[in-house]
Amino acid sequence: MKAYVLDTNVFVAAFRSDIGGSRQVLEAARARRFDLLLSVPLMLEYESVLTRPEHLAASRASKEDVSAVLDELASVGKRVELMIRTRPRLPDPNDWMVLETAINGRADAIVTFNDRDFRPVATRFRCSVVRPGEVIRGLAEETE
């Protein structure tokens, strides 16, 4: 089974739209169709970003809704201890925890819309960088 780390931008897109690759990836994680790798700093980042007023308004979700989804994902995800620190290899400090979770969890890929920043660094650690649509296509091929 593949192991993925989801960038926060994928969570934001999944919360803001009921359709699209990001929501499908989130639903696939909930259904345990891949190993969702999580770390404490990454979960805190997800919560911090998703509960911003602009994201709550756009998604028509409450803080309680966000907590419920994150709690469910925490129960199906695989916890990763961050033993290896990679700082400062990425332009955005908020991306460091995504990369660190991927490296420490030996992820097959980071799922993100920000491949421009992640790709040069992630490949050094033998980690792919993919968009949500690529994950969905890969999961569909597995079931054929």
Q: What is the DSSP letter of 81?
A: -
At 126 the pLDDT is 85
What is the residue-level pLDDT of the chain in tens, covering all 144 positions?
999 999 999 999 999 998 899 999 999 999 999 999 999 999 999 999 999 999 999 999 999 999 999 999 999 999 999 886 665 577 677 788 899 999 999 999 999 999 888 888 888 888 899 999 999 999 888 776
- DSSP H/E element including 143: helix 132-143
Q: Burial letters for 101-119: b for 16+ Cβ neighbours within 10 Å, e otherwise? A: bbbbbebbbbbbebbebbe
How far, in Å, CA of 5 to CA of 29, rounded?
10
Q: Which domains does the chain have, with CATH numbers?
A: 3-143 (3.40.50.1010)
How far, in Å, CA of 51 to CA of 67, rounded?
9
At 31 the pLDDT is 94
How far, in Å, CA of 78 to CA of 127, rounded?
17
Q: Quote the pTM value.
A: 0.91
**Residue 139, number of CB atoms within 10 A of its CB:** 16
At 92 the pLDDT is 75
- Contact at 8 Å (CB) between 82 and 104? yes
> Backbone phi, then psi, for 131, in 5-degree steps?
-95, 160
